[in-house]
Structure 1
Amino acid sequence: MKALILFYTTYGHNYIMAQAAAEGVRQVEGCEAILRRVPENLSDEILAKMGALEARKQWEHVPVATVDELPDYDAIIFCVPTRFGNMAAQMRVFWDATGKLWVKNALVGKVASIMTSSNTQHGGQESTILMSIPPLLHQGMIYVGLPYTFQGQSRIDEITGCSPYGASTIAGPDGSRMPSENELDGARFQGKHVAGIAKKLAG
Structure 2
Amino acid sequence: MKIGLFVHSVSGNTYLLARMLETAFQNLGQEATLYRVSDPDGQTLVDEFNLDADLYREYLRLPEARAHDLMPCDHLVFASPTYFGNVSAEMKTLFDASAIFWTEAMLAGKTCSALSTAGTPEGGADQALKAIHTFAQHMGIISIPLPCNLVPGMDIPAYGLKHYTGADGSIRPGKAQAIQAKAMAKWIVKQSR
- TM-score in same-fold range (> 0.5): yes
Residue 150 (1) aligns with residue 144 (2): no
Residue 162 (1) aligns with residue 167 (2): no
Taking the aligned partners of 1:40 and 1:72, their CA distance within structure 2 comes to 23
Taking the aligned partners of 1:52 and 1:122, their CA distance within structure 2 comes to 22
Taking the aligned partners of 1:13 and 1:46, their CA distance within structure 2 comes to 14
Q: Deviations over 1:112-143 (max 9, x none)?
A: 11010100123211111112211110100000
Give the match for residue 4 of structure 1.
Answer: 4
Q: Deviations over 1:137-176 (max 9, x none)?
A: 0100000122223225x44xxxxx7322111111111111
Match of 1:178 among 172, 178, 185: 172
Kept after mapping to 1: 8 A contact 2:78/2:132: no
Kept after mapping to 2: 8 A contact 1:2/1:32: yes
C-alpha deviation, 1:66, in angstroms: 1.1
- Range moving further from structure 2, 185-194 or 15-24: 185-194
Kept after mapping to 2: 8 A contact 1:79/1:114: yes
Amino acid at match of 1:183: Q
Amino acid at match of 2:47: A
Kept after mapping to 2: 8 A contact 1:162/1:183: no
Kept after mapping to 2: 8 A contact 1:3/1:195: no
Sort the Cα spacing of 1:43 and 1:187 in 2 relative to 1 into closer, same or farther, 3 A: closer
Question: Which consecutive residues of structure 1, in runs of 5 or more, have no partner in the other structure?
Answer: 156-160
Question: Which consecutive residues of structure 2, in runs of 5 or more, have no partner in the other structure?
Answer: none
Taking the aligned partners of 2:127 and 2:83, their CA distance within structure 1 comes to 10
Taking the aligned partners of 1:8 and 1:21, their CA distance within structure 2 comes to 14
Residue 90 (1) aligns with residue 84 (2): no
Please report the TM-score for the alignment, with normalisation by the length of structure 2: 0.91
Sort the Cα spacing of 1:172 and 1:46 in 2 relative to 1 into closer, same or farther, 3 A: closer
In percent, how many aligned pairs have the same letter?
Answer: 24
Sort the Cα spacing of 1:44 and 1:151 in 2 relative to 1 into closer, same or farther, 3 A: closer
Give the match for residue 106 of structure 1.
Answer: 106
Q: Deviations over 1:37-60 (max 9, x none)?
A: 111131644442132471411211
Q: Count how many residue pairs are aligned between Structure 1 and Structure 2.
A: 192
Which runs of 4 or more aligned residues in structure 1 lie more than 6 Å from their structure 2 counterparts after TM superposition? none
Give the match for residue 40 of structure 1.
Answer: 39
Kept after mapping to 2: 8 A contact 1:109/1:142: yes
More contact order relative to length (CA 8 Å, sep ≥ 6): 1
Q: 1:146 aligns to what SS in structure 2?
A: coil
